[in-house]
Amino acid sequence: MKTVILEKKVVDPGDVSWEPVTRLCETVVYDHCHEEDKFEKIADADIVLTNKVIIDEEVFERCPKVKYVGVCATGYNVVDLSAARKHGVVVTNVPAYSTASVVQHTFALLLDIASKITVYDNSVKKGDWINSEDFCYYKEYPVELEGKTLGIYGFGNIGRGVAKAAQAFGMNVLVHTANPDKYLSYINKQLRFADANSLFAYSDIISFHCPLTDETKGLVCAENIAKMKDGVVIINVSRGPIVNEKDLANALKSGKAAAAGIDVIATEPMLPDNPLMDAPNVYITPHIAWASREARMRLINIVAGNIEAWMNGDPVNVVS
């Protein structure tokens, strides 16, 4: 049995270990994998571990030895599931390993926007405080989160975690989810459910925590931004294509959107002509919300557990 890890450094830049996986069977590890190299690298693999490398029908046809694909992430849209089923390949993912990290990052972006941390850090380091006549000075105006309405689009583990944190800050929470009846116990004086249009209309801040589907692709577009409050703040730590980046950039430039916190981009790594690069008041991080050391260690342990369960004939976290 042979395992091939295609993108070691995405999960382990040097501070964690793949030992829970490598102890299971012969393992070949690649730091990175370009799409054109994947066929050669996994030609004799039984088990393939991927994060962003696409595993499609062509892979299964050209690499017939592959019987298991482990996606080292929660989202598994990089694998053609129908092709996997056709070829008898088991596909697993890693659910709920980074919930705390993503919730934390969501609020890191929101608190930076609200309290102007980056704005003032940059200003102080340019000498503005040294040259100030008063003990404090204003470049932009901080705002309180307490009493604001946070709209949460999607109410999985992360959405629920964000709602819990928001209520601790004294925020009111509107939630849009496809299955509100599952979560009626969460309703209280601070939290209620709403349809998408109501969430857009009444939220001061909107944070997206939904999977990428045909329905959510391009969800943050000019048409829907027009339904939002003037001065809305938009947070996206879910999937890049949920946002129409040109439309969001235009909203930021016009002032319709006061600010945005973005951890994911439609094309990653980010391209130099991305319209958000020159948009004002946008805080961008490089798809790092998931990647605390604790979360990455947890991911590796779950990946190893998935493989071991499959080897023992009782697979878990199966998506196909």
Residue numbers annotated as active site? 239, 268, 287
The arrangement of strands across the sheet holding 68-71 comes to 26-29, 2-5, 47-50, 68-71, 90-92
Whether the link from the prior residue into 269 is cis, omega within 30° of 0, is yes
On the CB side of 69, how many CA atoms lie within 13 Å of its CA? 31
Region of 208 on the Ramachandran plot (φ > 0 left; ψ -120 to 50 alpha; else beta): beta
Compute how many other C-beta atoms are within 10 angstroms of the C-beta atom of residue 286. 12
Distance CA 244, CA 229 (A): 18
Q: What is the dihedral of CA 263, 268, 272, 273, to 10 degrees?
A: -90
Q: Of 287, 311, 288, 291, which Cα lies nearest the Cα of 300?
A: 291
Asked if 58 contacts 79 with a C-beta cutoff of 8 angstroms, the reply is: no
Q: How far apart are CA 202 and CA 88, in angstroms?
A: 48
Which of 281, 251, 246 minimizes the C-alpha distance to 265? 246
First to last CA, the chain: 21
SS3 161: helix
**CA-closest candidate to residue 208, choices 142, 301, 141, 110:** 110
